[in-house]
Structure 1
């Protein structure tokens, strides 16, 4: 049965790609990407990708916003183009080219995304007006 009380939530389902995309957006620049659980609440809820805005309306009850960093314990450092270039230029066996740099960086980002997707937590703490509560996480996709 649906209610206004987020304490009724026992588990949230998140799409793997949503968690990775939100974390990547926040790593590249503080975009305010979260996974949002929207009322009415029930035992099993879906958390969807959302970007917080300063002009969001005051809803009652308020949606629960879960930062993607809470869903991934110790995420690897996001690869930067500069770091990729430095690694490529320091390899004496390979000549630097813009195309090679692009290929290596794309591969580094793909590897990062895969690592994050494999590290999504089995549970997460939800915070709301009545305090915190731990819920299970089901990963989709």
Structure 2
């Protein structure tokens, strides 16, 4: 049964790709990416990738904007280009070249994405106007 009460949510379904993309967008450029849950609320809801502030006005209740970090046990450090360049230059058996750096960086980002996927939670606590509310997570994909 649909309601205005977000505490009726028991399970949030979200794609793994949306969680990874939101985290990466925020790491790369502080994009304000969230996972949005749009009312009316029910026992099983879908959280979708969204940019906070990029929506029309909603009546009460407003959609829930959930930070992607809440879907992951601990977010690993994102491999910036500067960090991967430093790692490559300090590697005793590798020679630095821009093309080698690009490939090295791409592999580091791919490894980061896999690490995020390996750390997805089975449940999380969302903030509602009524207070904290525990929900199960159904990770899709």
**Which bracket does the TM-score occupy, shorter chain normalised?**
over 0.9
Pairwise CA distance, 1:59: 2.5
Bigger mean CA offset, 50-59 vs 100-109: 50-59
* Distance across 2 between alignment mates of 1:27 and 1:140: 22
Match of 2:37 in 1: 37
Match of 2:74 in 1: 74
Match of 2:111 in 1: 111
Structure 2 CA distance for partners of 1:43 and 1:53, relative to 1, 3 Å: same
What SS does structure 1 have at the residue aligned with 2:39? coil
TM (normalized to structure 2)?
0.94
TM (normalized to structure 1)?
0.94
* Distance across 2 between alignment mates of 1:25 and 1:31: 6
Pairwise CA distance, 1:56: 4.8
Post-superposition Cα deviations, 1:20-67, rounded to whole Å, max 9, x if no partner, equal 000111112321111011111110000000100177524311111110
Unaligned runs of 5+ in 2: none
Q: How many residues align?
A: 141
RMSD: 1.3
* Distance across 1 between alignment mates of 2:117 and 2:92: 33
Deviating above 6 A after TM superposition, structure 1's stretches of 4 or more consecutive aligned residues are: none
Match of 1:85 in 2: 85
Unaligned runs of 5+ in 1: none
* Distance across 1 between alignment mates of 2:81 and 2:55: 33
What SS does structure 2 have at the residue aligned with 1:18? helix
